[in-house]
Homo-oligomer: A and B are copies of this chain.
């Protein structure tokens, strides 16, 4: 069995809460690696990131790594396995739709490249940005989307347009063959079943935070 097949099989069984926690562990063990730490136990991780140790051990059991009794996991291997498993080591080409305040910021965010997201082009409708580059990334007119995507080899469309254009650009992206939509607008875009939609509305998170704050008062 190839590595890819093995990872895909493990992913099939993976509960989403586990998947959401794995990046937390990665963030922490990366710090340990940078600090020169060689081994870490699930108890230590638990203490640092406030998650139950038995849950961590169970989550990590989905990975191709075994901890040693009384020593724990080898930090370098754990970082490697987590990055690999989470897809952060494979480069995923993406296009940014809307290079205004948020879209432009995401292009500037070098952190995304560390997590495997390679933004290869931006698209907008504003004359003052079309034809320019941002961090070396060309910005095209949205009307060229179809034609440009034919050669860009992008699988992900990142949507950072005003909400009243969210569905419209989603439809354009799907029509052009994009396989996943990362939606930063608070609008609930719809797409055919075989297209992955990931919603990241930071404003909705604000509502949850305000609500929790209200309860504390």
Does A27 have its Cβ within 8 Å of any Cβ on chain B?
Answer: yes
A19 is contacted by which of B24, B26, B101, B211 (Cβ under 8 Å)? B211
Count this chain's copies in the assembly.
2
Nearest B residue to A34 via CB reads: B164
Greatest chain B CB density within 10 A among A27, A106, A194 is at A27
Does A12 have its Cβ within 8 Å of any Cβ on chain B?
Answer: yes
A109 is contacted by which of B16, B48, B101, B108 (Cβ under 8 Å)? B101
Q: Check B117–A111 contact: CB distance below 8 A.
A: no
Q: Check B116–A19 contact: CB distance below 8 A.
A: no
Does A23 have its Cβ within 8 Å of any Cβ on chain B?
Answer: yes
Nearest B residue to A28 via CB reads: B187
Q: Check B213–A196 contact: CB distance below 8 A.
A: yes
Does A176 have its Cβ within 8 Å of any Cβ on chain B?
Answer: no
Q: Check A104–B101 contact: CB distance below 8 A.
A: no
Does A42 have its Cβ within 8 Å of any Cβ on chain B?
Answer: no
A207 is contacted by which of B23, B164, B188, B207 (Cβ under 8 Å)? B23
CB-contacts of A58-104 with B (<8 A)? 86-88, 90, 92, 101-102, 104
A→B interface (CB under 8 Å): 7-8, 11-12, 14, 16, 19-20, 22-24, 26-28, 30-31, 34, 48-51, 86-88, 90, 92, 101-102, 104-106, 108-112, 115-117, 155-156, 163-164, 179-180, 182, 185-188, 190, 194, 196, 198, 200-217
